[in-house]
Amino acid sequence: MPICIECRYPVKTLYTEYSGADDRSSGHGVRLTVCKNCGRFCDKYVEHDAVVLFIDLVLIKPQPSIIRLGILLLLFDVYLTWARTEKQTSSNPSIITDLNANNFLRLTQQPIVFQYVFFLLLCALSTLSFHVSIRFLTSSPLSPLVLFGLIPRYSRPNSVSTALLVSSSTKLFPILMVIWEYDVPAAARSLGWAVVANNVEALKILLDCGYGTAAVLATVGAISRWMVGRGILWVVGLDGVDTVGDSGVAADGKALWAVVELGREWGGRLGLG
């Protein structure tokens, strides 16, 4: 008996072929069976040609999973945050002496598993705050944006999280740092802007709103993530170490403001000259 390739639930047939269909390969007169267990097509490859089947078999391509993508992004965030922290403290030792009782040194002296769990919790709670804040603003009846009629209430908050996860796939690009060594803070800052731009575009398409509203949502989510990250660091006495600010709104805002101030200063000098 055939089974569903998505959930392995047994089914009677993978497709139904209606009489009068003269060419099954073209898809005419063939209807794919929908799995009663998971609600997806039992075997979507029935309508794919041999080339697609061969490529997916060679690549051993798994079925896409948003949960797997979310876990992958979270684990990669842990790696980047850890690398960012170590690089910052090693390149600026004065930060360590300003911390109460050298808390960062105490962290580095802990077992590697303990350190990993700490950064995992830091990234998980920060990411959770990012999604929760945006889901609240878009899907809660108590959302200020909904109450003031700026956006209609979106009834599928899970779709909002899915859009944010998919649009955050740019975070995977720094895997190249395993091959080539480059400036981690500068790369993280550029990557942060790219992720924010992708989040804005995803929210605009999903919610069918303007760029302004989507930018507000993405900014609020980024600020929430930054505040939670900074709060956790403050609780454990690591407020002097900026692990999430390099790619966050705070550092990017400071950098943009510095550029504006520099432009104003040069403009003033040119005006006086």
Q: 43 Cβ partners below 8 Å, 6+ apart?
A: 2, 4, 5, 14, 15, 32, 33
Which pLDDT belongs to residue 48? 74
Mean pLDDT of 206-232: 88
**Residue 187 Cα distances to 36, 46, 120, 157, 235, angstroms:** 46, 43, 21, 31, 28
Cβ neighbours, 10 Å, residue 166: 16
Q: 83 Cβ partners below 8 Å, 6+ apart?
A: 177, 184
Does 17 score more than 80 pLDDT? no
Residue-wise pLDDT tens digits, 57-110: 655 555 566 787 788 888 888 887 887 777 666 655 554 545 444 666 677 777
Q: 206 Cβ partners below 8 Å, 6+ apart?
A: 154, 159, 160, 163
| Distance (Å, whole) CA 74 – CA 120 | 8
Residue with tokens 């003269």: 22
Which pLDDT belongs to residue 249? 45
Which pLDDT belongs to residue 156? 84
Does the reported pTM lie above 0.95?
no
**Residue 23 Cα distances to 14, 52, 61, 184, angstroms:** 17, 19, 28, 56
Does 22 score more than 90 pLDDT? no
Mean pLDDT of 135-159: 88
| Distance (Å, whole) CA 119 – CA 95 | 19
What the block records as the tokens of 213 is: 């509203």
Contact yes or no for 151/207 (Cβ under 8 A):
yes
Average pLDDT, the chain: 75
| Distance (Å, whole) CA 225 – CA 143 | 18
Does 182 score more than 60 pLDDT? no
Residue 269 vs residue 208, higher pLDDT: 208
Cβ neighbours, 10 Å, residue 195: 21
Which pLDDT belongs to residue 177? 61
Contact yes or no for 238/104 (Cβ under 8 A):
yes
Q: What share of residues in the chain are helix, strand, coil (percent, to 5)?
A: 65, 5, 30
**Sign of the CA dihedral 141, 145, 149, 154?**
negative
Residue 55 vs residue 196, higher pLDDT: 196
Which pLDDT belongs to residue 36? 87
**DSSP 8-class letter at 16:** E
**Residue 121 Cα distances to 11, 114, 193, 226, 229, angstroms:** 41, 11, 24, 14, 10
Residue-wise pLDDT tens digits, 97-137: 454 446 666 777 778 888 889 989 999 999 999 999 999 99
Angle at which helices 211-235 and 112-139 cross, to 10°: 150
